[in-house]
Amino acid sequence: MKIGIALSGGGARGIAHLGVLKALEENGIRPHMITGTSAGALAGAFYAAGLSPEQILSIITQTSFLRALRPATNLRGLLRIDLIQAVFRRQMPVDTFEELNTKLIVATTDLTYGELVYFSSGELLRPVTASTCIPGLFAPIEINGHCLIDGGVLNNMPVEPLVGHSDFIIGVHTNCYPERPEIRSLRSTMERAFQLAINDNVRERIPLCNLFIEPPELSKFTIFDLKRAQEIFDIGYEYTKSLPALEMIGRRLAS
């Protein structure tokens, strides 16, 4: 049985993807194909390259990649996220999609034409980085004439590329949010507005999943809570590990 997994965006909450992947592994569930948006694209890229969830978590917690962010030189974003590529290039063992151990598809949004642009071949890190460009916060990245930002703007859980290519589809959503948050700053206002907008496009894709994973405890974190990486990882792991369907899927794969 071919397993496909779609990993959503969610900023720091996307670290929960790693805990989810660890729990799946322990039940003998490994994807033959991964799709990802934003944080999901980043986690998916490292995992598809053969790194373990624990190794990826270590990269996140031990590498001061936030220092790589610099003010943008134009008015399209507050920060330039493309400089983060140099940091992750040192950690990523491959340079192209073709070198990955598992097929990966990365979703981005073309800001000019308002359409999804998927990447699954060629250079790896620039498309992955483009997929994480939260509009307004990070300046877009130009690739092949496309002005690209966060894929979550149009598709925060890119399940569609898995349809017809997977026997069993798992969707993982980490962009949970509290129903009545305290909004006291510009940052919290921007984050809340972005969450509301992209969560709508996730709900319509849930019926395409055979298993939908959404740890509710993630709602207490913000997209910037990188210092709580281990806690977020553990929530993804424990929640997934507790799912009754997991053992059944593992037995089905083993038979």
Nearest to 193 by CA among 134, 147, 148, 149: 134
Instruction: Give the containing element (helix H, strand E) for 110.
Output: strand 103-110
Q: Residues 82, 110, 131, 150: which is the catalytic one?
A: 150
- Helix then strand then coil, in percent of the chain rounded to 5, is 45, 20, 35
**From residue 132, how far is each of 24, 124, 127, 141 by CA, in Å?**
25, 13, 9, 10
Residue 58 annotated among the catalytic residues of the structure: no
**Closest by CA position to 156, among listed 143, 170, 172, 168:** 172
Query: Facing residues of 109 across strands?
Result: 116, 149
Taking CA atoms, 201 is separated from 5, 151, 165, 195, in Å, by 17, 11, 22, 10
Active site annotation includes 255: no
The residue from 38, 82, 131, 166 that is catalytic is 38
Catalytic residue ranges: 38, 150
